[in-house]
A and B are shown apart, each in its own frame.
Chain A
């Protein structure tokens, strides 16, 4: 048997893998002539996207989740809008009302005991559990295992949970009561019917 040590494949020779137009393996396919014109453009578009390094995004990814810009102006033919240079960020209520996303919970108010603080039956309260409960804040408290929303008053070691409605009594915390401040109410959302 003859052993040749020349000819055959050489290591490292030839075109490098994935170095072509598509940066991935390609495949030869048979295409009906009538479809060539409609297929070629999409391949060309893809080729140019790969070449320019543009990430290929799906059109209409999430059509509904469009934020509304504050400034809008009618397009006047020929003239750029003078406001375009002043286009600012959009307004997002979440960033306005929520400062600690992981610590923020929504709860629903029941009853009228805090009507003086603008909390009505059925309102949604935004509660931040990360804030320290300072005197004067409206808090979600747990007294002996039951939830209540009241204004916290601390004075000389005495703690009172004050209602904001003269028909309701304040809760004075006695030594034997178990009190946990669950969170601090930062906003109330009141929706008109």
Chain B
């Protein structure tokens, strides 16, 4: 059968756990869990950990005894490592199709239409190449739409007999319906939790119920996006591949602190660090910001204490992109919203109304001002380079302090691929 459209979804198997195993091969076959920032919740599990009944999203402290009893290996999240491994994997996947959409840190859609290859073999070769080049195992699902490719990927992962590659378009009608019967409607790509609830209320539980339902009903209930998913199940491609990621609308950098913060300087220290991270992203995307938000709040889960949420947003006439301009602003805003006597447990900043970073300077600045801007941008470049080379050794004064805010990462592996001082030692 010749399809008008054909997509593959390449998804890494238990990506975070797999990355840890590449640099610690003795973890092969052992149950692993990875914790969120600040060692809060379980955000990734190896197959062995899943088999032991460890649930996703559960706070670590609630299941600690069970984890220890079962000898499960615990890792703090190591995003520098996962990010680097992800970019390697994505680049290799990109060699297998001219059109690629990097969908998340561990998933990528590729367009397979018109490729002069036997597709199953082509995808098997992709799979083997990613594994041997990076050590990360992946599975491939194929279908004539993105929803179908995503569904096919589940099958490729679930049944070992497909050897990691499955083409859902090959399935006869009855088997296809049976497969849909076994997948809850909320597990379809594009059907969120709220949509699933609405569907369940009218008796649509499985994906097959959804597939057999009337298109008018679906559209009334879920709107155009639900209709798209419905049509994609019928093989009509409605969701195109997004090869060029949409321009970022905003950059958020926030974090729950290692311990509650009361003091202004402690908060300022944390926010300075978060700001540097946000500005780093801003510069990477060659963007500048015109609106800045700072927010801090107290723990909403504490009994007998109302949650205090403080925030302020300011706008600027000129877009700025330089940390030496943004960091002092953040401190100023924090000074405006800060109230003593509270224990703040989380805080962050948002850079929004992002614009392309044009060289144009504010026309009303004098030459001297312009020169100062160029100088400060050179200074920031220099700081960035020094920090890259020497392991974050230069800091803004406002970032230096007691480090009380620093998140817990008691089980963190090394940054094997992004830091000269943390290479794998053999």
Please, how many angstroms separate the alpha-carbon atoms of A181 and B159 in the complex?
27
Q: A100 with B133: in contact, given A63-B381, A64-B382, A146-B26 (CB under 8 Å)?
A: yes
Give 1 or 0 for each of A53-88: 1 = CB within 8 Å of chain B CB.
000111110111000000000000000000000000
B70 in the interface (beta carbon within 8 A): no
Please, how many angstroms separate the alpha-carbon atoms of A107 and B423 in the complex?
5
Give 1 or 0 for each of B353-388: 1 = CB within 8 Å of chain A CB.
000011110011011000000100110011001000
Q: Are A129 and B25 in contact (CB under 8 A)?
A: no
* Cβ contacts under 8 Å, A180 to chain B: 25
Q: Are A145 and B381 in contact (CB under 8 A)?
A: no
Q: Are A64 and B426 in contact (CB under 8 A)?
A: no
B424 in the interface (beta carbon within 8 A): yes
B202 in the interface (beta carbon within 8 A): no
A13 in the interface (beta carbon within 8 A): no
Chain B interface size range: 20 to 34
Among residues of A, the one whose C-beta sits closest to the C-beta of B94 is A102
Q: Are A107 and B424 in contact (CB under 8 A)?
A: yes
Please, how many angstroms separate the alpha-carbon atoms of A144 and B29 in the complex?
12
Q: A130 with B28: in contact, given A105-B416, A125-B426 (CB under 8 Å)?
A: no
User: Secondary structure of the A side of the interface?
Assistant: mixed
* Cβ contacts under 8 Å, B91 to chain A: 101-102
* Cβ contacts under 8 Å, A101 to chain B: 91
Q: Are A56 and B358 in contact (CB under 8 A)?
A: yes
Q: Are B88 and A107 in contact (CB under 8 A)?
A: no
* Cβ contacts under 8 Å, A125 to chain B: 426
A93 in the interface (beta carbon within 8 A): no
Nearest 9 CB-CB pairs, A to B? A145-B26, A103-B133, A58-B359, A102-B88, A108-B423, A107-B424, A142-B25, A147-B426, A130-B133
The contact sample of 18 A-B pairs, CB cut-off 8 A, is: A38-B366, A42-B363, A46-B360, A56-B359, A59-B359, A60-B374, A102-B91, A105-B417, A106-B417, A106-B420, A108-B426, A110-B426, A129-B135, A130-B132, A130-B133, A145-B28, A147-B424, A147-B426
- Give the B-binding residues of A (Cβ under 8 A): 35, 38-39, 42, 46, 56-60, 62-64, 100-103, 105-110, 124-125, 129-130, 140, 142, 144-149, 180, 182
- Give the A-binding residues of B (Cβ under 8 A): 25-26, 28, 88-89, 91-92, 129, 132-135, 357-360, 363-364, 366-367, 374, 377-378, 381-382, 385, 416-417, 420, 423-426
